[in-house]
Amino acid sequence: MLNIVLFGPPGAGKGTQSSKLVDKYNLIHLSTGDIFRYNIKNETDLGVLARFYIDKGNLVPDKVTIDMLQAEVKKNPNAKGFIFDGFPRTIPQAEALDVLMTELGTKVDLMLSLDAPEDELVERLLLRGKDSGRADDSNEEVIRNRIGVYNDQTAVAASYYDNQNKYFPINGVGSIDDIFEQLCSVIDKFN
Ligand code: ADP
């Protein structure tokens, strides 16, 4: 199996690159943000709960997020591997992912981290908000809060993988294809 954590602040390009990576490497894409939005749209209990946090740009509590992610992974017993997009966002989530992977007889192979300057992130998200209808992309204050949450609560998760020599930062500014090539060249060393 090949299990990749795609990391980075909101607007860094994780979703865009994930869809290219799943095609190339035949992986299952698990985006916790997408799963939450699906639940919000369908007005499930999980969606109602998650919306309370997401609309403000805060993190959904770890227990809720971890339980959901575990269930999604277990729905794919024949997967060749996973791209985790937007998960883990905290150290407890990273630890829970390790436990889950060990249970399944596998592991996280690497964390690929995309980054871009804050003003560029805000600009990209406001642009995305115009088409996507995502409430959390339409309000600059919510966007800046999400970036703040990333810096304060999420960025530390990188050190968790760095300590295991699994952390690979990649510049998220450039053409989509150039960034994709850089991601692939790291992945291909593991394949
Ligand atoms: P972005 O990376 O652009 O912020 P996502 O779609 O990954 O967008 O996430 C949207 C929102 O969903 C986050 O702001 C957060 O509220 C919630 N969320 C997604 N993943 C997680 C997670 N792993 N832990 C807690 N909350 C999460």
Establish if 188 belongs to a structural domain.
no
Q: Kindly report the protein residue whose alpha carbon is nearest to atom 5 of ligand 1.
A: 33
Catalytic residue among 37, 89, 124, 166: 89
Establish if 164 belongs to a structural domain.
yes
124 catalytic per annotation: no
> pLDDT by residue (tens digit) across 109-124?
999 999 999 999 999 9
Give the Cβ contact number of residue 114 at 10 Å.
22
- CB of 86 sitting under 6 A from ligand 1: yes
- CB of 172 sitting under 6 A from ligand 1: no
pLDDT bracket for residue 154 (50, 70, 90): very high
Establish if 74 belongs to a structural domain.
yes
Residues contacting 138, CB < 8 A, separation 6+? 126, 129, 130
Establish if 86 belongs to a structural domain.
yes
- CB of 36 sitting under 6 A from ligand 1: yes
Establish if 187 belongs to a structural domain.
no
Task: Determine which of 42-51, 89-98, 128-137, 152-161 has the lowest per-residue pLDDT on average.
Answer: 128-137
Q: What is the per-residue DSSP string for the chain?
A: -EEEEEE-STTSSHHHHHHHHHHHHT-EEEEHHHHHHHHHHTT-HHHHHHHHHHTTTPPPPHHHHHHHHHHHHHT-TT-SEEEEES---SHHHHHHHHHHHHHTT----EEEEEE--HHHHHHHHHHHHHHH--GGGS-HHHHHHHHHHIIIIITTHHHHHHTTT-EEEEE--S-HHHHHHHHHHHHHTT-
Establish if 116 belongs to a structural domain.
yes
Task: Specify the CATH number for the domain of residue 29.
Answer: 3.40.50.300
| Residue 171 lies in domain | 2-182
144 catalytic per annotation: no
Establish if 107 belongs to a structural domain.
yes
Predicted pLDDT of residue 186: 97
Q: What is the per-residue DSSP string for 72-115?
A: HHHT-TT-SEEEEES---SHHHHHHHHHHHHHTT----EEEEEE
Distance 32 CA to ligand 1 centre (A): 6
* Mean pLDDT confidence for 147-164: 98
Task: Please tell me the total count of domains within the chain.
Answer: 1
- CB of 157 sitting under 6 A from ligand 1: no
* Mean pLDDT confidence for 164-189: 97
Establish if 161 belongs to a structural domain.
yes
Q: Kindly report the protein residue whose alpha carbon is nearest to atom 15 of ligand 1.
A: 59
